[in-house]
Structure 1
């Protein structure tokens, strides 16, 4: 197990358990997807602090899960892993204690891990650019601010974690709904300045940055696009290779690097996760198990139910009853 010793994290109030779609609905994202790869309850524990130009999240998820987030072009994400089990991987890079992952490019990021507890900041690029310029006299475009990892180390990393937690705690008297709170303008501006200082110190002065290799990410994205085009008739490995313009071995290596699973195993887990989302959708009448299975390319309802139960710990009919 790898972990950062931040025991006070568990004492923060304001948690909410929801499905992936419900939690991310309405946020500045082009794509948001979660695929459960290991057994356990498919339920997020999430806390959101929402400002005008900044979003602060505290999230946890127990089972092994792969997720893909592509923010709006004017937004970027600072992901701060805190606790996790085994390897926690972002765009093929294994997280270490006190790392911060910056995602500012058009590809967004993919992550995989189990027992995860993360802090994250979503920031409007234009606002951060203004703050950076006022503090340094340079525009943020003058430095290579793209998908990268910044190694903070224990001292600076602990201070940065606590700074985010202080921001969260300062917002608890401004509730917006279950698990959601308003970020005060003054607190938001202060955190923008702190992040700009971090970029100046680490990216320019210390140069403690490593860039991501995005080729595997782009390979799996191309393969996933054709997979989504063939919903009821899942494509073969040959089809996926053709779409991604790589051989079978390269495809296998890329999926393992990005998602920690071979292509077929990952894509089947993706379909099962989609099925669970359909069962739990709040809109419309409850769907039938058979209709959902067929709509996602599972032609044998019994086999589908067994695979579903092995992943989520309950049969589809039980999920529908909980809805």
Structure 2
């Protein structure tokens, strides 16, 4: 793999997923190692994502989409909205609510489908009207065979993405393949609802605090925000804010803001559409006033100096 390709964040796939907002923030030093395979149909999408260094994928879906996310492999804890995955976990997603996935060395598949389309397919299969109502995110602990069956349903259409050895591949689903997949997903959903599974209760108060904080971060310049700003937005004190971020992200709000700033700088340094004038300019804009301190922090996180990333992209 060439140096230039290795240094790219390669996040354009987030723009194709039906979301209001998506972001990927690197949390620990190392190579992000982002690779993905994705396919889209008229009413559905499947994306398989692999990452290396521990990171947070935050997504605010469009409200009329629902789906499932299945962790395949990971290192340490795999958290979705603070819920810790096991080897039998399938996460049920609902576009009415945003979600965060925190993990290291992860390999997972996320499937999305229009709510009305899945409702109609289930109605056809059960012979009566059925509407999928707005729900919270759920953690399903299903039998291993049932989980493997769902993965098998999703692996098959992923074969429509080109197999060219690239880190990023995208394919279009023929309508007949998509309809067959949706029917299989509907059948799986009906069977899952009839199984006895345990459901992890969401940390609702912690999630609300984190969500309010992230909303403030999206609306403002992350380089200018302080912990006091997040406390005011969430309506809590510093200790409560710290506890919420620790429960959901496994880190303090200050540590999250720091890593968000570094990731934002990296995105700008490798940007082709809106490159900064210099490394110094973008560092100062994100609150790093000491060039030496910034260079050390950047290299510790991403394994290279910011000047190296900037030169390779813009030489």
Once residues 202 and 208 of structure 1 are traced to their aligned partners in structure 2, the CA distance between those partners, rounded to angstroms, is 12
| Number of aligned residue pairs | 305
Equivalent residue, structure 1, for 2:77: 87
Counterpart in the other structure of 1:55: 45
Q: Aligned partners of 1:232, 1:73: CA distance in 2, in Å? A: 26
Q: Provide closer, same or farther for how the CA distance between residues 145 and 228 of structure 1 changes in structure 2, counting only shifts above 3 A.
A: closer
Query: 1:250 aligned to 211, 215, 240, which one?
Result: 240
Change beyond 3 A, Cα 1:191–1:308: same
Please, which runs of 5 or more residues in structure 1 have no aligned partner? 1-15
Q: Distance in 2 between matches of 1:64 and 1:259?
A: 11
2:161 maps to 1:150: no
- Would you say the 8 A contact 2:161–2:169 is kept in 1? no
Is this contact kept in 2: 1:18–1:43, CA < 8 A? no
CA RMSD of aligned residues (A): 2.5
CA contact (8 A) 1:289 1:316 kept: yes
Query: What is the rounded CA distance, in whole Å, between the counterparts of 2:222 and 2:98 in structure 1?
Result: 27
2:98 match = 108
Residue matched to 2:3: none
* CA displacement, residues 9-55 of structure 1 (integer Å, 9 cap, x when unaligned): xxxxxxx9962531212331101011111111234101111111111
Distance 1:67 1:307 in 2: 22
Distance 1:189 1:212 in 2: 33
Q: TM-score, with normalisation over the residues of structure 2? A: 0.88
Contact 1:66 1:113 in 2 (8 A): yes
**Deviation of residue 213 (structure 1)?**
3.1
2:262 alignment counterpart: 272
Give the alignment's TM-score, normalised by structure 1: 0.86
Summarize deviations over 1:96-135 as a string: whole Å, max 9, x none.
1131111204332111010000011021112111112211
1:161 corresponds to which of 151, 158, 170 = 151
1-side partners of 2:177 and 2:245: how far apart? 40
Larger displacement relative to structure 2 (294-303 or 78-87): 294-303
Show CA shifts across 1:47-77 (max 9, x none). 1111111111111000010110111111123
Match of 2:26 among 30, 36, 42: 36
